[in-house]
């Protein structure tokens, strides 16, 4: 019978890549991720075979670079090293539970590409591979995945909150153990764990804890770079530095705490050995020259006098003709060509920031309106549902706050709603605060308004 059935089907083997629930019921699975159509009502039962698993111990050991004078300093991420993920029974010992395997799968297939939609794929692969041997990083990724999945499928059950809290507590517990060991402090994985926790706080709206984690990251980065300066050329470490600096800059621009916790002219990003600043960076979403010009640093802008503001305006305008898409690195998707438009959105949002928060021009001033329209045109060149929109929350929010036109506001609302639907909790909070600002009909710059009523947000 088996042979006859196989002949009738044209000798095609039965597909075994459906979710576990559809295979159990022996029905066809449409392979929709993260939850197939048949499992929509019961999303936690929809699990695909975990394909992100630990490599053989000998293979993983070859990826660790050890300096005898310092101990382990993390993964050896030399060019050409590939991290392969294959089905295997050799799982990480910390992926023993069904929940942990499920959320690790979600992180590798959904969450990672949402947190870093244009980052080099090798950066994400290295992070996941390192987590399989690093419990605090693994649990931090599981916490981020659990939170993202809950928002994605709109699961507000106590069980979901408990699972996220459990993973977060395990990450913090193991991180505290790592911080008590000098060798573990000098590992990029430890910095990554703190960054993941910090980013998850922002996405969850935990505004009381994210800044504490961010300050901890700065201390870890400074310690690591001061002791392991030779790793400044490591692409993974460079991504970590840009990840931290971008979040810190956005924090400085976003809320009534208007200063960064590090000095952009001498902090981690300043040490990056980049040479082609015309390229749009996949982590930041804009050319790093925008940081060089101090166009996006809240501290510098708020302390500038009008003469310095004019000089900054000139520098910002020069960046418009110098941008170009980064085609030198792998990306997680097809959004690299869209990074040019993302960069333009940041450039014009920086001009808008200059007009409203430094020069204190009113919303209806011609220069403010030009900046709004130019930034909006850049946003409109990015498809409405593109993951690239995730990167440009600050420009999108700034446009929305500085526009009184119903048509422009509708565009911004739609963009933010699209990002909410893919589980981006930071867009949910930003959209809620945008509505609050609109309803207030305030003439104050949004940063001043939110400071007065005591609301805080981070547009990362």
Residue 63 pLDDT exceeds 60: no
Q: What is the mean pLDDT of residues 136-150?
A: 94
Residues 6+ apart with CB under 8 A from 267: 218, 245, 248, 260
Task: Give the residue with greater pLDDT, 130 vs 34.
Answer: 130
Q: What is the mean pLDDT of residues 222-227?
A: 85
Scan for tokens 């929809």, then name that residue.
46
Q: What is the mean pLDDT of residues 134-157?
A: 91
Whole-number pLDDT of residue 69:
36
Distance CA 332, CA 113 (A): 6
Residue 174 pLDDT exceeds 90: yes
- Beta-bridge mates of residue 64: 75
Distance CA 364, CA 370 (A): 10
Task: Give the residue with greater pLDDT, 32 vs 53.
Answer: 32
Task: Give the residue with greater pLDDT, 61 vs 314.
Answer: 314
Domain assignment present for 23: no
Whole-number pLDDT of residue 73:
37
Residue 76 pLDDT exceeds 70: no
Same domain? 182 vs 244 = yes
Same domain? 240 vs 295 = no
Residue 374 pLDDT exceeds 50: yes
Q: What is the mean pLDDT of residues 160-182?
A: 91
Residue 71 pLDDT exceeds 50: no
Whole-number pLDDT of residue 257:
55
Domain assignment present for 154: yes
Residue 6 pLDDT exceeds 70: no
Domain assignment present for 440: yes
Same domain? 245 vs 290 = no
Residue 215 pLDDT exceeds 90: no
* Average pLDDT of the chain to the nearest whole number: 75
Least confident of 2-11, 172-181, 340-349: 2-11
Q: What is the mean pLDDT of residues 143-160?
A: 88
Same domain? 183 vs 250 = yes
Quick check: 253 and 229 in contact, CB under 8 A?
no
Task: Count Cβ atoms within 10 A of the Cβ of residue 427 and give its class: 0-12 exposed, 13-18 middle, 19 or more buried.
Answer: buried
Whole-number pLDDT of residue 248:
82
pLDDT band at 264 (very low <50, low <70, confident <90, very high): low
Quick check: 142 and 100 in contact, CB under 8 A?
yes
Same domain? 271 vs 285 = no
Whole-number pLDDT of residue 414:
95
Residue 78 pLDDT exceeds 70: no
* pLDDT > 70: percent of the chain: 69
Helix (H) or strand (E) holding 65: strand 64-67
Task: Count Cβ atoms within 10 A of the Cβ of residue 369 and give its class: 0-12 exposed, 13-18 middle, 19 or more buried.
Answer: middle
Domain assignment present for 2: no
Which sign, positive or negative, has the C-alpha torsion 163, 386, 406, 296? Answer: positive
Quick check: 331 and 420 in contact, CB under 8 A?
no
Which residue, 63, 203, 199, is CA-closest to 137? 199
Quick check: 92 and 250 in contact, CB under 8 A?
no
Domain assignment present for 30: no
pLDDT band at 18 (very low <50, low <70, confident <90, very high): confident
Task: Give the residue with greater pLDDT, 373 vs 38.
Answer: 373
Highest mean pLDDT among 61-75, 217-231, 297-311, 360-374: 360-374
pLDDT band at 269 (very low <50, low <70, confident <90, very high): low
Whole-number pLDDT of residue 228:
80
Domain assignment present for 17: no
Task: Give the residue with greater pLDDT, 49 vs 51.
Answer: 49
- Of 276, 293, 316, the one marking the end of a domain is 276
Domain assignment present for 406: yes
Overall residue count recorded for the chain in this entry:
460
Same domain? 309 vs 205 = no
pLDDT band at 309 (very low <50, low <70, confident <90, very high): very low
Same domain? 193 vs 272 = yes
Scan for tokens 């001033």, then name that residue.
365
Residue 301 pLDDT exceeds 50: no
Same domain? 398 vs 354 = yes
Same domain? 302 vs 186 = no
Task: Give the residue with greater pLDDT, 303 vs 456.
Answer: 456
Task: Give the residue with greater pLDDT, 164 vs 48.
Answer: 164
pLDDT band at 410 (very low <50, low <70, confident <90, very high): very high
Same domain? 307 vs 405 = yes
Distance CA 427, CA 44 (A): 24
pLDDT tens, residue by residue, 103-134: 998 998 889 988 888 888 889 989 998 998 89
Residue 58 pLDDT exceeds 90: no
Helix (H) or strand (E) holding 72: strand 71-75
Domain that includes residue 372, residue range: 280-324+335-459
Highest mean pLDDT among 9-13, 246-250, 425-429, 436-440: 436-440
Same domain? 315 vs 439 = yes
Domain assignment present for 153: yes
Radius of gyration of the chain (CA): 23
Helix (H) or strand (E) holding 97: none
**Number of separate domains in the chain:** 2
Q: What is the mean pLDDT of residues 384-403?
A: 92
What are the CA-CA distances from residue 373 to residues 338, 356, 387 (Å)? 18, 15, 22
Which residue, 406, 408, 404, 430, is CA-closest to 417? 430
Quick check: 436 and 212 in contact, CB under 8 A?
no
Whole-number pLDDT of residue 159:
80
Same domain? 284 vs 410 = yes
Highest mean pLDDT among 249-258, 306-315, 348-357, 380-389: 380-389
pLDDT band at 226 (very low <50, low <70, confident <90, very high): confident
């Amino acid at each position: 019978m088996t042979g006859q059935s196989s002949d009738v089907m044209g000798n095609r083997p039965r597909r075994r890549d459906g979710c576990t629930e559809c295979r159990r019921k022996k029905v066809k699975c449409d392979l929709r991720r993260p939850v197939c159509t048949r499992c929509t009502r019961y999303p936690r039962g929809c699990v695909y075979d975990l394909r992100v698993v630990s490599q053989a111990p000998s293979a993983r050991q070859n990826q660790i670079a050890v300096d005898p004078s310092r101990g382990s300093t993390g993964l050896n991420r030399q060019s050409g090293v590939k991290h392969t993920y294959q089905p295997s029974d050799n799982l990480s010992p910390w992926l023993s539970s069904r929940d942990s395997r499920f959320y690790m799968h979600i992180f590798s297939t959904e969450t990672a590409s949402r947190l870093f939609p244009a980052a080099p794929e090798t950066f994400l692969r290295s992070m996941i591979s390192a987590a399989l041997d690093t419990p605090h990083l693994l649990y931090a990724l599981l916490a981020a995945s659990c939170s993202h999945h809950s928002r994605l499928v709109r699961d507000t059950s106590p069980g979901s909150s408990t699972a996220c809290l459990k993973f977060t507590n395990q990450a913090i517990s193991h991180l505290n153990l790592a911080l008590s060991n000098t060798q573990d402090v000098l590992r990029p994985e430890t910095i990554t764990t703190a960054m993941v926790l910090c980013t998850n706080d922002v996405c969850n709206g935990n505004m009381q804890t994210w800044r504490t984690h961010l300050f901890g990251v700065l201390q870890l980065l400074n310690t690591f770079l001061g002791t392991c300066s030779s790793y400044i050329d490591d692409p993974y470490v460079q991504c970590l530095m840009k990840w931290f600096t971008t979040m810190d800059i956005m924090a400085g621009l976003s809320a009534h705490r208007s200063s960064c916790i590090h000095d952009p002219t001498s902090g981690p990003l300043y040490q990056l050995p980049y040479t082609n600043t015309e390229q749009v960076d996949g982590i930041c979403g804009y050319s790093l020259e925008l940081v060089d010009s101090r166009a996006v640093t809240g501290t510098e802008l708020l302390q500038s006098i009008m003469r310095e503001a004019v000089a900054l305006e000139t520098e910002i305008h020069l960046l418009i003709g110098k941008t170009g898409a980064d085609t030198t690195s792998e990306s997680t998707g097809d959004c690299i060509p869209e990074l040019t438009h993302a960069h333009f959105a940041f450039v014009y949002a920086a001009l808008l920031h200059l007009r409203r928060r430094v020069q204190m021009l009113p919303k209806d001033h011609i220069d403010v309106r030009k900046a709004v329209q130019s930034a909006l045109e850049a946003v409109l060149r990015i498809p409405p549902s593109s993951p690239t929109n995730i990167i440009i929350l600050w420009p999108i929010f700034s446009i929305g706050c500085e526009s009184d036109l119903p048509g422009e506001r509708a565009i911004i609302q739609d963009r933010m709603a699209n990002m909410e639907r893919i589980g981006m909790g930071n867009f949910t909070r930003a959209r809620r605060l945008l509505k609050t600002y609109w309803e207030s009909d305030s003439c104050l710059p949004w940063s001043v308004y939110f400071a007065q009523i005591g609301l805080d947000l981070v547009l990362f």
